[in-house]
Structure 1
Amino acid sequence: MSETIVREPKSGNFVRILEVAYRQDNDGSWPARIYMPQSKGPFPALLDVHGGAWNVGGRMDNEMIDLYLAASGMVVVAIECRKATTYPYPSQVADVNYATRWLKAHAADFNAVADGIGGLGASSGGHSLMLSAMRPNDARYGAMNFSEEKKTDARLSYLIALWPVLDPYGRYGFAKENKREFLVEATDAYFLNQAAMQEGNPLLVLERGEPLDRPPMLIVQGTADSNVPLDSVHRFVDAYRATGGAIEIAWFPDMPHGFNGWTDIDCDRALKIIKDFVLRRQNPSAGVLDDTENEQA
């Protein structure tokens, strides 16, 4: 385990960053990057799942968001996921399922509260996060044995989805139509066939009426996103609400896929919306999520 201390640029607060292995098995050692406030706690906890079209990306991709939330008073655990082509669907969903159970079992080790844990996922990470949270008891997703004595489940108390892939099958057709070859090849590499794109599909599982968990959810979405079809976003929001789920969506006019290319004003607004959403769902037994200055170790 390694540890560093950094100052979050927006607040000036100090954040501890730990590198640990959240899983070690025949596939290797899988790291998690843990962002911890430098104050008393215990704190609410959030699991962060990176994007990358299921083929690329890593646990540091959302570091600006993770540092901001940690500096505000919460523990954020950013995991490394397995990637295609070596690991096809549902590998990344299983990673999220396992990491959720692991975080609940180890929350106290990182000065966090095990109850009320939320999840944040960007792009394809939003897809994996949603499927794991909506189907927490799916035997395929929970297939990796959890050796800890403390038994936990994969349920999450709330979800934050940043420009998520809500409909991989629809996005596959969208990418083909718009000659987005990387997205076509990446989707093929992860799902292997179109039947899997339809089965492991957050939008379609809602529209099929499957029995699902529906945690409160926030979607952050730019209107100039050329990586996802926006009609799928509208359909998902409508289906989530129609089936009893509480969902909020924050639209950002003219913003593309991912914070790269967003204006500073829009990035700051998105961070505040995310923080406010977390605050409204905070576990009362956790510390206060705010911008008070943390102590340097």
Structure 2
Amino acid sequence: MIPKAPAVAAYPAVIVVHGGGWMGGSRKDYQGLQSLLANMGLASMSIDYRSAPLARFPAQIEDLKCAIRWLHQHASEHQIDPERIGGFGISAGAHLTALVALTSGKWNTVDRGNQSSDRLRCAVLHAPPLDFPDWWQTADPQITGTMSPRFMLNNLFGKDYSQAKNAYKEASPSTYAAQAQKEKTPPLLIVHGEQDVTVPIRASQAFVDQLIARGVSAELMRISDADHFGFGSQTRQAVEKIQIFFSQCLK
């Protein structure tokens, strides 16, 4: 989606990555968000990625990185500035976006002929799962069905944590935060509800603390009355925070 005004030769852009527990969701789910970004003067591209359980991890991160490289390669054709491409991930999509931010050069196995950059200038993460081993081991057994962390992770990997500990660790953004380099890690803004029982905010706080300790620009906006969906009573404040963040890092 391209902003209607003001008309410029090349817009900063945001790749929108949908949620859905890695099993569902669609690039069509966030047209409202894309309209909001357009009103901020930002172009946007919402993407799909292969879904579990038919496609196991790392198919999802491979697809996202492929999309980023494609947008870098074709930016000029779509009035986009390739030096100003950010990300906006929601839930499972936020997990994938966080991985992109921390693992440049890894998982670039789809479309090997495209050698364009897989990097983002900055990213907003809404309610991201960041530490799979911890998420599995501390999951509330009363949460069942498609919103159960263990159900989602079993579908994503085809195995539970005890059978695939290394895979769960490798897929966790928290694994890379302790070694993050300031010069190579883009600024990150996490927006997370304190009432989120699906993805507890604890991991987001630990993740941000690790990044800050490494000199990386990272911030957590805690929303006291929000659960896993939306921004609770602070929707206006969250939108303003996101707009300021993108205006600074994509300027």
TM over 0.5: yes
Structure 1 residue 229 displacement after superposition: 2.1
Runs of at least 4 residues of structure 1 off by over 4 A?
none
Structure 1 CA distance, aligned partners of 2:143 and 2:234?
A: 29
Give the AA of the match of 1:249: L
2:82 corresponds to 1:157:
no
Is the 8 Å Cα contact of residues 161 and 219 (structure 1) preserved in structure 2? yes
Correspondence for 1:188: 154
2:143 corresponds to 1:172:
no
Is the 8 Å Cα contact of residues 204 and 220 (structure 2) preserved in structure 1? no
Structure 1: give runs of 5+ residues left out of the alignment: 1-34, 284-297
Structure 1 residue 147 displacement after superposition: 4.3
2:166 corresponds to 1:202:
no
Change (3 A) 1:87 1:211: farther
Structure 2: give runs of 5+ residues left out of the alignment: none
Structure 2 CA distance, aligned partners of 1:230 and 1:134?
A: 20
Structure 1 CA distance, aligned partners of 2:29 and 2:16?
A: 10
Give the AA of the match of 2:219: E
More helix by share: 2
Structure 2 CA distance, aligned partners of 1:210 and 1:37?
A: 34
SS at match of 2:84: coil
2:225 corresponds to 1:223:
no
Correspondence for 2:217: 246
Change (3 A) 1:270 1:60: farther
Is the 8 Å Cα contact of residues 181 and 216 (structure 2) preserved in structure 1? no
Structure 2 CA distance, aligned partners of 1:191 and 1:257?
A: 22
Q: Deviations over 1:31-61 (max 9, x none)?
A: xxxx111231221011111111111111122
Structure 2 CA distance, aligned partners of 1:157 and 1:198?
A: 25
Percent of aligned pairs with the same residue?
A: 27
Structure 2 CA distance, aligned partners of 1:72 and 1:116?
A: 14
Is the 8 Å Cα contact of residues 133 and 154 (structure 1) preserved in structure 2? no
Structure 2 CA distance, aligned partners of 1:69 and 1:177?
A: 38
Correspondence for 1:43: 11
Structure 2 CA distance, aligned partners of 1:175 and 1:257?
A: 15
TM-score between both structures, scaled by the size of structure 2: 0.89
Instruction: Specify the structure having the higher radius of gyration (Cα).
Output: 1
Correspondence for 2:36: 68
Correspondence for 2:204: 233
More strand by share: 1
